[in-house]
Amino acid sequence: MGKGEVKGLKELAGMTKTNILIEWTRHVSRTNILLEGRAFEMAEAALNQCNKVLSIGAEVKDIKVGDFVLMGGTGRLITLNGTKYGIIKEHMVDA
C-alpha cells in the first residue's frame, strides 16, 4: 500500500500534492427538529471540526494516515458511493 492509499477506497487513494482526504460525519438530528440549508451545513461543519485522515498526497510532510486533524479552513466535500468525504490542503490544518 502506497503513502496515500486507503484500504477499500481505491477510487480515493491517489490524493495529489498537499491534499488530505478526511472522514466526514453526516449530521443526524437527535431531536424532532429537522435542519435544512445553511443551518444543516453549519451543524455538519461543527460536527466535523476534528476529522480522521484517510489518505494523503505525496507532498504532505507532517500528517499521516490515521491521524486526527483540526481543520482551520474550508475544503471540498465529495460523495462517493453514498458516503461523504472531505478534501483539504495541508496548510488548512491547525492541529
| DSSP codes of every residue in 32-82 | SPPP-HHHHHHHHHHHTSEEEEEEE-TT--S--TT-EEEB-S--EEEEETT
CB–CB of 90/69 below 8 Å? Answer: no
Find the radius of gyration of the CA atoms of the chain.
14
* Residue-by-residue pLDDT tens, the chain, 95 positions: 345 445 556 656 667 788 888 887 776 777 878 887 888 777 777 776 788 898 899 899 999 999 998 877 777 888 888 888 888 888 888 88
pTM equals: 0.70
